[in-house]
Structure formats: C-alpha cells, structure tokens
Amino acid sequence: MARERTIVAAGGVVWRPRPGSDDGVELLVAHRPRYDDWSFPKGKQDPGETVRTTAVREIAEETGFHVRLGIPLPPVHYRVGAGPKVVRYWAARLRRDDPGAFVPNREVDEIRWLRPRDAEALLTYEHDRRLLADFRRERAAGHHRTRPLVVLRHGKAVSRSKWSGPDTERPLNGTGQDQAVALADVLGVYALEQVITSPAERCRSTVAPFAQLAGLPITEDPRLAEDRPPADLAAAVLEALDRPAVVCSHRPVLPDAFAALDLSAVDLAPGEGVVVHHRGGRVVATERLG
C-alpha cells in the first residue's frame, strides 16, 4: 500500500505588546469564512520553499501583517481529507519597521487582537488551544522576547586541491552560490540587523545575497578567520549578541563559537547554520538552519 503523503504547512502565534501594559501581549486570531472557524494564521508550503518562509509569507498573505520569527513552537499534527498534516509554528512578533495592515480577503475576512485568555475562548480547535498553552508557557518564562543570532558555516567552496591562489580568496563553487541565494530568503524571516563574516571570500560570498536583499552592510571581522585564537573568535561572537545578527565563519573554528554561547558543538554542512534565540545573552532555544 502506498504511503500517505504528509501535507506540510506553517504559521505563527503572532503577538504584539498590549497598549498601556508593561508586559501584556495581544495575539492575532483570524476568521476563515470558508470554514467559519477562528485559528492562528497558517498555510501550506509551496514547492521549493522552506517552512520558515512559508510561515512569514502565509501570515502576510492572510492578515497583511509582517512578522519576524522568534522561538519555534511544537508542531501540530492532525488529519484532513487529503491525509495527515503537520503545521510548524513559531512565536512571531510584528515587525516594528513595517508592521503592515489587515485588509479582508478571500482567506481571512476578520481578525481580532485578543488577550491570551480571550483568544483561548474564541479558538475553534483543540490543537490551537494546545498551541496557545505552549506559547503561554514560553511567555511566562519571558522566552517570547528573544533576539536571534545565526551561526553560519560558509557555503560549498572550490576544493583546496583545485585552487592555486591564496586560500582566503578561494571562492564558492556553483553549489555554494546556490546555497547563498537560498539563504538570502530564509535569513530574512529573522529581521537581522547585522551581517558579520570572516574576511575569506567564501564566507563573504555566502552572506552577500542576504546583505544585498536586506540592504545591510557587510562587516568583515578578522577574528572569525580560520587561524585566529579561540578567545578572539569567542569575543567576536559575544559582541554580535547586541543586535540580531548572522555570523559566518569556518568549520574548524565553529566549535569555539558554540562554546562561547555555552552550547554543544554542531557539525554543520556547508551552507548550514544554527539559529540561537537568546535573551540578554542567555540562550533559550536553538534551531538548525539548512
């Protein structure tokens, strides 16, 4: 018997600070006229799209609001007529630079910004109420307010044996160039404000498409190079925590980057990274970015 194909979707528990409150939040709940239900915004993954870009795109298409992703929330599993479905969710905060605005549309004809307890009463499905409970636990710990640091290994480069020039000038190969282009979109979901890289050409080229897309300058930091002492690399990584950032370096020294963050080393393939969600430098969640 043929195995059922799982439908993949993504969305977010979208939140904003509640006006007039020091620490209160409001959550975005959407009404879908096709199903006459109230739920969190989400939608199906398009071919070739990462689930993170799906989440941001679907939230914008359904509600008009633009968000940056925070910590991942537990996925939701259920069945629909076409088979099993999994929905990946993130805590998602409105972007301050471009929050967007709601316009009723075919998918969503009404939205409400509600306190968590009022959202719980309105939500149609039990799996959404369980998701809300997960968000409320994270919020109670302050984990909804985090800042991202992406620790990235450069894309696939021309092999050392096929390169006769200085190693710092060794470029990306075709696969690495494709990885750099793909990273541009997925890094955008975190509303990063800094692009920091080793001076090596293969590192700079990995983050260049994202920097151009986001309109950000590239900062070359020699402390991220392959031959620098671990203390130098650790200092560079810790300094990058002050604003949302991506830091691109080399496989041999990445264990020192993770050690600086009190994390176990992750063996990353070319073009892979780890998103470190932290609050005041204290790591509260990580997720692999590939």
**How confident is the model over 121-171, as pLDDT tens digits?**
999 999 999 999 999 999 999 999 999 999 999 999 999 999 999 999 999
CATH classification code of 147-289? 3.40.50.1240
**pTM of the predicted protein model:** 0.94
* pLDDT-based confidence at residue 80 (cuts at 50, 70, 90): confident
The radius of gyration computed from the CA coordinates of the chain, to the nearest angstrom, equals: 20
pLDDT at 50 over 80: yes
Residues listed for the chain: 290
Contact 271, 155 (CB under 8 A): yes
The share of the chain scoring above pLDDT 70, in percent, equals 99
Q: What is the pLDDT of residue 2?
A: 57
CATH class of the region 7-140: alpha beta
Rounded Cα gap, residues 54 and 45, in angstroms: 5
Task: Render the burial of 258-277: b for 16+ CB within 10 Å, e for the rest.
Answer: bebbeeeebebebbbbbbbb
Question: Domain map of the chain by residue range?
Answer: 7-140, 147-289
